[in-house]
Structure 1
Amino acid sequence: MSDGTTVWSSEQSLGALPEHIRGFGLMHVAMRRDAARLTAVAARGASGSPAALAEWFGRLRAVIDWHHHSEDEILWPYLRDRVAGFEGSGVLEQDHEALDRTMSRVAGVLAAGRSSELPDAARAFQGLVREHLGHEEPVVFPALAGLPVQEYLRVERRIIGSAPGQVMTYLQPWMFDGADPASVRAVSATIPAPVRLLGRTVLDRRYRRTLGPVL
């Protein structure tokens, strides 16, 4: 489904993606960023409260868990019906299951305070995140880019509407953390103004308070 020239990777360039799917790309950028943060914390030895690090990871895990369930239950069935030749959802669903197991391992290590096991668990998680997105993006990004903009935005609203409250209040500042300004502008344009304002103020301050263990 690629045209042979577009780089369908959020790791290499969000600028190559159509603006209306950059929110999807930003979520992938944020996953890689936080997987790398966890690996760095584990390598240097966590400072501060172990409970705070476990809470931070719990928020990340909740976002990834929602993102993957919304793909399995909403996006993949839609693309199979709508995009001729769309394939790969079987492999991607298997990746999701593997990531669930890897995140459960990290959460268990953090909950039990087994700090000596955290570096290996964190590296496994980061490696699987990168591997999974390497499978997904060359298949899914061109399929999404091929949809009419308004059609894609309707599907995106269904996906966002499926987010539980704890994810919804975390999602916007999490996506925009460290993101390039052009992508932030493009994604912000699709967010209702009151929600955008809330995300930039109250929710962003709350989000920043969760970052202490990994900065």
Structure 2
Amino acid sequence: MTTTVERPWVQEMIVVHRVFRRESRLLPELVRGVRPGDVERARFLAGMVREYDKGLHSHHTTEDALLWPKLLARVDLDADLVLRMEQQHDVVAKGLHTVMGRLATWERDASASARDGLAEAMDEHRRDLLVHLDEEERSVLPLVSEHITVAEWAELGETGRSHTPKDKLLFMLGALLEEATPDETARFLSHLPVPARILWRTVGRRQYAKQMRKVRAGLR
């Protein structure tokens, strides 16, 4: 009798990556669209950049703590790959540190020079991020599927959600579902408690759409 081994749903990670790909592309476009001296808009977008920074930092530190050590212990032949993932995390973190430093300057005066310097740093961050995401999806997720259990994968997701403030959970769900296919959306929603699904459909979806209209105002 053949026993079927349940595998973690690694597609979840790909959807999360789509969110970071989207936001790392849109945020510098939005920054470049701010008129010099428009401090109010600069401060608003600065808040969005900080949310992005927190989300990516949480995503990577959770992987560092819960994913890489397990893979290193189980896939000897691919240890160099796992170590490269950690090194890429460091590169991405350093780029974000530069972004956040320039963000503070731009937020104060919304000058054209500070705006352009910030957008350039964000573009450079995106280039580093895409290198990492591409390789992780291509080379690491197949190892995760083979060597990480369903329970361990679930722990990764639960830890990430636990780092998200409760008042941001519906927003994060909206960010995910914006990038999800209908089948992926159905799977995400099926894992939510019934009250959470009702809250999303009655309140969260509308609030997310309203927030995104404000954030993306002026985009072509």
Q: TM-score interval w.r.t. the shorter chain?
A: 0.7 to 0.9
Correspondence for 1:76 among 65, 68, 82: 68
Residue 150 (structure 1) aligns with: 150
Q: Can you list the C-alpha shifts for 1:38-92, whole angstroms capped at 9, x where unaligned?
A: 232244x225610110011111111101000000001111223345644322211
The DSSP-based 3-state class of the residue aligned with 2:13 is helix
**Residue 46 (structure 1) aligns with:** 34
Deviation of 1:206 after TM superposition, in Å, equals 4.4
Aligned equivalent of 1:33, options 22, 31, 46: 22
Deviates more, 1:118-127 or 1:53-62: 118-127
**Aligned pair in 2 of structure 1 residues 157, 178: CA closer, same or farther (>3 Å)?**
closer
- What is the aligned partner in structure 1 of residue 3 from structure 2? none
Runs of 4 or more, structure 1, over 6 Å off, are none
Which residue pairs with 1:133 in the alignment?
133
The TM-score normalised by the length of structure 1 is 0.77
The answer (yes or no) to whether the contact 1:95–1:132 under 8 Å persists in 2 is: yes
Q: TM-score, normalised by structure 2?
A: 0.75
Worse overlay, 168-177 or 203-212: 203-212
Alignment-mate amino acid for residue 91 of structure 2: A
Report the equivalent of 2:56. 64
Name the SS of the counterpart of 1:177 in structure 2. Answer: helix
How many residue pairs get aligned? The number is 197
| Aligned match of 1:198 | 199
For 1:111-130, list aligned pairs within 5 A. Answer: 111-113=104-106, 114-130=114-130
* Worse-matched range after superposition: 67-76 or 168-177: 168-177
Structure 1 pair 148–51 and aligned structure 2 pair: CA distance change class (3 A):
closer
> Aligned-pair RMSD on alpha carbons?
2.8
| Contact 2:31–2:45 under 8 Å retained in 1 | no
In structure 1, runs of 5+ residues without a counterpart are 1-17
Separation in 2, partners of 1:39, 1:112:
15
Partner of 1:3: none
**Which secondary structure state, in structure 2, belongs to the residue aligned with residue 46 of structure 1?**
coil
